[in-house]
Amino acid sequence: MTLKKTAAGVILLTMMVTGAACSSEPKNTASPAPTASAAASPQATAETQDAVNMKGYIAARIAQEKAGFLFGEAKSKDDKPILNPIAADSKEKAVKFLSSYFDSAMADKLAAHYLTDQKADGAIVTNAAAFFPTNLLTTTKADITFDAANTADLVKFTTKDGVTYSTKKVDDKFIVTDAAKK
């Protein structure tokens, strides 16, 4: 019995030593000198306008999804659409939530469109009619035409059904400033 314990102990000790030796990084005293490309800034090339356009489009899709979450996802016991209590329980909180995705004027327009004076189950009843003239969540890049005058800070695009969305960069991310059928 003690021979088995001793053998097991020796095997365990061998595995621990081997594991420790294998897991430690090899010591390399002759490290290569950094190359010129490694010394260059991490963003040596400018972002293409196509990439910027996609960021604006994706930001608008996310913003529309968040508005749907806030105003159309929750239902009262009698199946009325209500302001999502997870994100907000007042107009001010709803506008604050939306301000991460929309500029302040657009967030106010959304709140004015969706919020009613009615209450159900202690929550504000929301307008079931969609604010946005088209659902971006059902579109693809092929359904979008980007404005030729777009810049690194402003992206406009039009859907195939004629709705123009405008986004602008604020604090290194895009927010929606307008959505209108032309």
Residue type for position 118: Q
* Beta carbons within 8 Å of 68's beta carbon, 6+ residues apart: 137
Give 102's DSSP letter: B
Q: Show the domains of the chain with their CATH numbers.
A: 49-181 (3.10.450)
Q: What's the pTM?
A: 0.73
* Beta carbons within 8 Å of 17's beta carbon, 6+ residues apart: none
Q: What is the pLDDT of residues 41-79, one digit of tens each?
A: 444 457 899 999 999 999 999 999 999 999 999 999 999
Cα–Cα distance measured from residue 161 to residue 106, given in angstroms and rounded to the nearest whole number: 21
Q: What is the pLDDT of residues 79-121, one digit of tens each?
A: 999 999 988 889 999 999 999 999 999 999 999 999 999 999 9
pLDDT (0 to 100) of residue 7: 46
